[in-house]
Amino acid sequence: MNESGRYASFNTNDFLAKVISLPDVEKVELQAMLDWLAGYGADEQGGVTRLLYDRAWCDAQQALAVKMQEKGLTAEFDQSGNLFGTLQADPDSSAASAHDLPIVTGSHIDSVVHGGKYDGAYGVVAGILALEYLKQQFGAPRRTLQVVSLCEEEGSRFPFAYWGSRSITGAAHLQDVRELQDAGGVRFEDAMTQAGFGPGSHYRAAERKIGAFIELHIEQGQVLERLGHSIGIVSAIVGQKRFSVTVSGEANHAGTTPMIWRRDALAGAADMISAVRRIALQAGQPLVATVGQIIPDPGVGNVVAGRAVFSLDIRHIQQESIEQCWKQMLEAFTTIAEEHQLELDWEEHLSVAPIAMNAGIIQDIQEICIQEQLSSHTMASGAGHDSQIFQPACPTAMVFVPSSSGISHNPLEFTTEEDLMRGFRVLVRLLYKYGYGS
Amino acid sequence: MNESGRYASFNTNDFLAKVISLPDVEKVELQAMLDWLAGYGADEQGGVTRLLYDRAWCDAQQALAVKMQEKGLTAEFDQSGNLFGTLQADPDSSAASAHDLPIVTGSHIDSVVHGGKYDGAYGVVAGILALEYLKQQFGAPRRTLQVVSLCEEEGSRFPFAYWGSRSITGAAHLQDVRELQDAGGVRFEDAMTQAGFGPGSHYRAAERKIGAFIELHIEQGQVLERLGHSIGIVSAIVGQKRFSVTVSGEANHAGTTPMIWRRDALAGAADMISAVRRIALQAGQPLVATVGQIIPDPGVGNVVAGRAVFSLDIRHIQQESIEQCWKQMLEAFTTIAEEHQLELDWEEHLSVAPIAMNAGIIQDIQEICIQEQLSSHTMASGAGHDSQIFQPACPTAMVFVPSSSGISHNPLEFTTEEDLMRGFRVLVRLLYKYGYGS
């Protein structure tokens, strides 16, 4: 199936003619269900800590399975612990085809440590309620709709992210992760088995075919809020490269070493960090480059640092822009290292290509926003999401709602109920179109 | 007693006429005794860890007391744990006077964690051997000579430095330190009592009058080695100010926050660290300014830092130069904070005034170096030493010997035996002059 083929199947030209009304959609208790879900893993800081296969995670997934059943969906786990809620297509529908793969919405159930209650959870809760609403209003769809509560996205417990979507799409398998250990030395596979999943469980294998994936998510940035838009339509998820850069000089006594003889690794690193910002600003949006961590060694106030290691994170929606920016930074680092008589070393430890979202679905979302009179903004996602894992396997799109002050991965993460409901309406219309459209 | 009065008592005008020979001085086994002492507190890294009142420290001080007795000195502890070895003046000497206070040499016995075997120890060992040599060669002196193994200088165990010299000069008392705790929560006074010292012990109180203090020490810097001199004559010990500077912005997602909206505390701090180096270089020698530690918060590679705290250490032999430099740095910090929309805060947590060494003793050391044909260099000490505590109480001077590659506070700390012996000869001549001179 080529890209244009996929596009065709998600662009119903007569869409605008089929405007449905959404009776009582405002009565859907999305906020209440989000608050309920946040009780699983509620931490002492007012946030949510729900890590893959831990107690809070198990309780939340099991409670969601019950909730799906209550909402009229068929709930089913897979061996990875992904939870699917299915609204089966009407087998008698003239449009239904055994070859139609299900349209899937959802997001991830896991959180970062001391995270907020919207990241991931919003897409899961909205998906369940959207399917319940559609079933109540329109009965069985012509094409099967599913909501998925993905087991893992954050990489907060084990050093591996997107386990849920990667295991579904076949981008990762148990052998890739089984020996990983969490901070407490627990093996990945043991944690999985302890939670009741894995190949020894009675659940089906995680890998499956999907017709399309649609993810509703909070923006986790300030763009929508600052620009005054309600809906973000994600054009692409940025690619990123992450490096750790090591600058080596000579540790010396801060009192006895004249300035001119110093090979101060921290002073050199500081010049490099300033260069990162300068080059990123020159490159212009949407390029972002960040140094978030630096560790000087020995890291004592009265010793000239002999070594400094800093992180570097570069993101853009075009791979060549990332490469170009890194090249410029490396040239600047090399010059600075020479000036300071320092040695420079670096290690690339992450390289993710930018992923464009499906153009057909993007166009449908744009049309829905016009129809719903919602102010929308087509934008890149600067954060990684499960959608970047799904897109290579099936047509995929993301819808953002504003994050208050852009705060995320924090107990203060917040989106107004009005904005949550606007995103929900977009999701309902989109699922209606693909599930019930001709 | 004023400064000129002190000077007169240490400047014997007919000194050059009284050139003594130093028979067999090269046979003194200084290196062997240093190696022996380094066995107390020898650590697994090949260095020395001997912290105030700990087991290795107690064993070393007790072993030194025995060694002093073996060398013909009277050994005596005080309540702080300082150990004095005395070579009593001949009571029949026509020049001896009951009013003459003893001439004291020595240094400290404690080390940093994983320190070297020369820092402090050299001055103690050289002092013991110098008094033994002088007694053997010339008998009882006209003026009492003492060597002191000071209990503490480094501040490595408790957050308090120079306890030895401060308790002798009366600059600090037990009530200033008794409630301090080490990293393990042990109270200072309890550690002291456990080691057999303190007011409850049978030792004399620490405070005492001293006629002059002479400290032989490794340079702990590269100046002598780079400039090719054997002896450093310390003109002054630098003053220093230490600050912690806090830069506050806004923690943000590294992917979702455009560069132009960031208030990146680490990027701002980096510009400030670069400014510290620029301003210090402009000020010229002997000014040194160091940022040795920086802690970004949250300190994660994919989060724009909301806060960064860095250390700043400024040293110079003139107080006004320190003040002027800090003023310039603060102006630069303020400008950078405004550019980055950051908040700036700082705390001064150390301020030590520069201390000039006694001009008369300096001149005597210079003359000895000429006489001994030793290449000497008059220089500031960029590191703090017990001499800065003694100088306000009595005429004080310091003699440096080269440190290989300037390395100190490290198992690799090293000074050649030749250089150790050159410093020893200077000390012997100086003590002869003050102890046996007319």
The continuous run of DSSP H or E covering B389 comes out as: helix B387-390
C-alpha dihedral sign at B140, B148, B196, B165: positive
| Residues sharing a CB contact under 8 Å with residue A377, sequence separation 6 or more, in sequence order | A223, A224, A227, A229, A231, A232, A233
Q: In whole angstroms, give the CA distance from residue B386 to residue B152.
A: 9
| Structure tokens that stand for B3 in this block | 């400064």
| Structure tokens that stand for A319 in this block | 């791979």
| Residues sharing a CB contact under 8 Å with residue B10, sequence separation 6 or more, in sequence order | B212, B358, B360, B361, B364, B395, B434
Residue pLDDT, tens place only, A342-387: 999 999 988 999 999 999 999 999 999 999 999 999 999 999 999 9
| Structure tokens that stand for A68 in this block | 């799906």
Nearest to B222 among A222, A261, A271 (CB): A261
Verify whether the Cβ–Cβ distance A226 to B261 is below 8 Å. yes
Q: Which of B253, B272, B403 to mutate to test the interface with A (most CBs of A within 10 A)?
A: B253
Verify whether the Cβ–Cβ distance B381 to A299 is below 8 Å. no
Mean per-residue pLDDT of chain B = 93
Taking the CA of residue A11 and the nearest CA in chain B, the distance in Å comes to 29
Verify whether the Cβ–Cβ distance B292 to A303 is below 8 Å. yes
Q: In whole angstroms, give the CA distance from residue A146 to residue A148.
A: 7
* Bridge-based pairing state of the strands A231-237 and A376-381: parallel
What one-character-per-residue DSSP string does B49-65 give? ---TTSHHHHHHHHHHH
Verify whether the Cβ–Cβ distance B219 to A256 is below 8 Å. yes
Q: Which residues of B touch A265 (CB under 8 A)?
A: none
Q: Which residues of B touch A261 (CB under 8 A)?
A: 222, 226
Burial readout A319-348 (b: 16 or more C-beta within 10 A, e: otherwise): eebbebbbebbbebbeebbeebebebebee
In chain B, the N- to C-terminal Cα span, in Å, equals 21
What one-character-per-residue DSSP string does A135-177 give? HHHH-S-SS-EEEEEES--S-SSSS---HHHHHHHTS--HHHH
pLDDT at A2 > cutoff 80: no
Verify whether the Cβ–Cβ distance B223 to A289 is below 8 Å. no
The interface pTM score, or ipTM, of the predicted complex is: 0.84
Give the three-state DSSP class for A196: coil
Give the alpha-carbon dihedral of A315, A319, A320, A322, to 10 degrees. Answer: 20
Q: In whole angstroms, give the CA distance from residue B188 to residue B168.
A: 17
Q: Which of B272, B294, B303, B407 to mutate to test the interface with A (most CBs of A within 10 A)?
A: B294
Question: Do residues B394 and B10 touch, judged by C-beta distance below 8 A?
Answer: no
Alpha carbon separation from B23 to A162, B129, B198, B231 (Å, rounded): 80, 14, 42, 21
**What integer pLDDT is reported at residue A98 of this predicted model?**
57
Q: Which residues of A touch B261 (CB under 8 A)?
A: 222, 226
Q: In whole angstroms, give the CA distance from residue B142 to residue B97.
A: 9
Residues 252 to 311 of B: which have CB under 8 A from any A CB?
252-261, 264, 266-267, 269-274, 276-277, 280-281, 285-294, 296, 298-305, 311
For the ranges B32-36, B302-306, B390-394, B396-400, the lowest mean pLDDT is seen at B302-306
What is the C-alpha radius of gyration for chain B, rounded to an integer number of angstroms?
24
B221 shares contact with chain A (CB less than 8 Å):
yes
Question: Do residues A296 and B295 touch, judged by C-beta distance below 8 A?
Answer: no
Verify whether the Cβ–Cβ distance B296 to A292 is below 8 Å. yes
Q: Which residue of B has its CA nearest to A276?
A: B267
**What integer pLDDT is reported at residue A291 of this predicted model?**
98
Q: In whole angstroms, give the CA distance from residue B151 to residue B51.
A: 9
Q: How confident is the model at residue A209 (pLDDT cuts 50, 70, 90)?
A: very high
Residue pLDDT, tens place only, B269-318: 999 999 999 999 999 999 999 999 999 999 989 889 999 999 999 999 99
B88 shares contact with chain A (CB less than 8 Å):
no
Q: Which residues of A touch B276 (CB under 8 A)?
A: 267
pLDDT at A7 > cutoff 50: no
User: Where do the domains of chain B lie, and which CATH numbers do they carry?
Assistant: 3-237+355-436 (3.40.630.10), 239-352 (3.30.70.360)
Burial class (CB in 10 A: 0-12, 13-18, 19+), A101: middle
Residues 345 to 384 of A: which have CB under 8 A from any B CB?
381-384
Residue pLDDT, tens place only, A92-146: 775 556 568 999 999 999 999 889 999 999 999 999 999 999 999 999 999 999 9
Q: In whole angstroms, give the CA distance from residue B235 to residue B343.
A: 41
Q: Which residues of A touch B277 (CB under 8 A)?
A: 259, 264, 267, 270
**What integer pLDDT is reported at residue A96 of this predicted model?**
54
**What integer pLDDT is reported at residue A281 of this predicted model?**
98
* Block residue for tokens 């819808």: A399
| Structure tokens that stand for A66 in this block | 């019950």
C-alpha dihedral sign at B173, B178, B184, B185: negative
Question: Do residues A263 and A342 touch, judged by C-beta distance below 8 A?
Answer: yes
| Structure tokens that stand for A295 in this block | 């560790």
Q: Which residues of A touch B294 (CB under 8 A)?
A: 266, 294, 296
Q: In whole angstroms, give the CA distance from residue B184 to residue B198.
A: 20
Q: Which residues of B touch A270 (CB under 8 A)?
A: 269-274, 277, 291
Residue pLDDT, tens place only, A397-422: 999 999 999 988 889 999 999 999 99
Q: How many other CB atoms are found less than 10 A from the CB of residue B31? A: 14
Residues 398 to 417 of B: which have CB under 8 A from any A CB?
406, 408-409
Mean per-residue pLDDT of chain A = 93
Q: How confident is the model at residue A31 (pLDDT cuts 50, 70, 90)?
A: very high
**What integer pLDDT is reported at residue B47 of this predicted model?**
92
